[in-house]
Structure 1
């Protein structure tokens, strides 16, 4: 089986590198300076206690399909359609992405779609370089057929990942895990906008409470942090890497790279959408969505909004009513 990883950044680069190290055939798909760095010098993978350059084949354009190809889509949600559009529609697609909309979007175009819930602490800020902070395993990955179920392919992918340095499980209710992950990801925008200060934890609680209330009203099942911790155990712990500072998660990294876009519409925006459908106010998520998008559009640096200002905007929206 050949794994074609579309979006070889923090998540995709780590998954591709680990599969390659495990003896699997891998092709990385990247763009611009990152692709040029991969093509000319390979992928530099930093982990706790090691640094290695891997000569993984890379491309910036689609390649002729093979019968044993599997696409692992690891782009941000806002890039899903553009990233997949050039690829043949009969190839199975694994959505290794945050949010819960990608699988449904991809299923409009591709016949075999798999969800992957990703817990993988990694960093990608420089072309050709990925730092994977998980130890002793690089991450925890749940995979299952979308909208539900487990088949032979999902079991094979989980087995390959488990042998390549991940906690990997084939699960029939993968979207329940992804909705649980969504609740945790609601704080991504908060982390990206403001530095941690007294009052940050209170906002984290408020944004998660909104998300939980909306999912409960909609009758959408979701995993809990306790379930995640029990499965992950001590197999995936966030560890420092000498010489590399992990500033923040995926949204923080989008602002740090001045990418011009951010995933807030598919994280906080998912809760805003459901809140509007079910008549539940979501002022915290609305403000975080709007401000994260503004920061990305104006290419403002991460952590540059005072927490007091962000809190005031949220309180103002809460007092006036979500709209």
Structure 2
């Protein structure tokens, strides 16, 4: 798998107590998980917080990240891609570098919106169980030249044992993959995509439903996607997929607004720009830092669209 870049990572600066001396490495990093209980066989958000623990400013663009997993049996393993020609890193990179003063922090989030991180390719890390995860990070400056290498402390995630219809679907996921289902299989394999279509059509009660709905709409959304996205958002507000449903609905509305604007239908364009604006704001209120970053950018484009419409109406 080729190394991918997360171009829309969120950066949040926050002041903390400044250190009293020079640390062995200028940057420390830690992980947090917006949701630490997830269904098997699906990706999840990971947030990295960098802190400048040195006594001088540090500029950070992001990091090359490799996954480290502690399995339920206690074994800890650095997850390397079995394909020797493929990369097992994922690039966390902000749109703009951030200059951190001593004691300041910034955050970047890996999501499953524009691309699923390569650390979700491993079937051994997909099934039910209590795992520990950490990241080995090669932190880069504004030119992405290396600043330091750090490993985050391990955080816990529980991949839940599915029940009911979700248990039946998980069994199907294992069958169609010959026991090698990974967290990217809904998008990366033909059997996985076919099963996703089946879930969308016949299993709206499944916990997998909001995931497969959002995964499809985030890349091919239009007005036809909106009713199902909003209906699912009403029913699955506690799902880790909920922020993605809101963003997908907003993206679909913004696409319709742009389409209407291009054909000169200003009334329709304003209608959908306002729709998108509303749901981007809802997405900004969720706890998914990755989605909030994308929603903030989408909201900015939507406001610009409404400004264009207002100028044309004068």
Query: Which protein has the bigger helix share?
Result: 1
* TM-score normalised per structure 2: 0.29
* TM-score normalised per structure 1: 0.28
Larger relative contact order (Cα-Cα within 8 Å, sequence gap ≥ 6): 2
Greater Rg, structure 1 or structure 2? 2
